[in-house]
């Protein structure tokens, strides 16, 4: 099990917050009961003081500038660290599904159907929660161009799953915008 964050936290850029929220959204798309699972996992990590309920968790995620309802103030570094730990713990829980999606040994037709289901669910969540006037959001919804983005999100979750992925994910989220 991924442990609660020990670091004081990092100040994430706008791009970092976008990626973090998208990874959480992908985890939700993979898990039908994702919202509850996320809260339960955060409590397992000992983050109940930071995220006592779904509303508090949602408020932290609203720092994503692509959201329909967005908060302009910067994300607290301790909150960012908690969300990073949460992504890694969720990826750990969902790892068998991530593996199935990424494995080339799975039957091709079955893999395609799994990807299609993920695309559908992720698309629904994006339409429901993101600002559809933003070009980045429209790009995520465009079926002609979003497949590599979905693949990147799933493989990112697979590579940061578990406690060993926390430092990797933090470093990735702190990458400068090219």
Binding site for other proteins (CB under 8 A): 95-96, 98-100, 102-105, 152, 155-156, 158-165, 167-172, 174-176, 178
Six-digit token string for 53: 């309920």
Which residues are CB-contacts of 133 (< 8 A; sequence separation ≥ 6)? none
Find the shortest distance in angstroms from Cβ 84 to other proteins.
Answer: 12
Least gap, CB of 51 to other proteins (angstroms): 25
Q: Which of 64, 42, 67 is nearest to 53 (CA)?
A: 42
Q: How far is the CB of 150 from other proteins (least distance, A)?
A: 13
User: What is the C-alpha to C-alpha distance for residues 82 and 28, in angstroms, rounded to an integer?
Assistant: 17
If the CB atoms of residues 34 and 165 are measured against other proteins, the closer one turns out to be 165
Choice between 68 and 158, CB closer to other proteins: 158
Nearest distance from C-beta of residue 105 to other proteins, angstroms: 7
The DSSP symbol for 74 reads P
Smaller CB separation from other proteins, 8 or 104: 104
Sign of the dihedral through C-alpha 37, 39, 40, 44: positive
Nearer to other proteins, 33 or 103 (CB): 103
Determine which helix (DSSP H) or strand (DSSP E) holds 72, and give its type and residue range: none
Alpha carbon 124 to chain centroid, angstroms: 15
């Amino acid at each position: 099990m991924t442990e609660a964050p020990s670091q004081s936290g990092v100040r994430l850029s706008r791009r970092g917050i976008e990626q973090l929220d998208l990874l959480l959204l992908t985890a939700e798309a993979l898990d039908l009961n994702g919202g509850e699972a996320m809260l339960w996992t955060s409590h397992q990590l000992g983050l109940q003081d930071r995220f006592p309920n779904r509303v508090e968790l949602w408020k932290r995620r609203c720092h994503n500038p692509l959201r329909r309802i967005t908060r302009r103030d910067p994300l607290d570094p301790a909150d960012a660290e908690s969300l990073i730990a949460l992504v890694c713990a969720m990826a750990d829980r969902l790892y068998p599904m991530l593996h199935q999606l990424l494995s080339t040994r799975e039957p091709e037709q079955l893999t395609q159907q799994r990807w299609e289901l993920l695309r559908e669910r992720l698309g629904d969540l994006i339409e429901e929660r993101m600002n559809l006037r933003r070009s980045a959001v429209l790009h995520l919804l465009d079926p002609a161009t979003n497949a590599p983005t979905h693949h990147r999100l799933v493989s990112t979750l697979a590579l940061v799953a578990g406690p060993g992925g926390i430092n990797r994910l933090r470093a990735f989220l702190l990458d400068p915008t090219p």
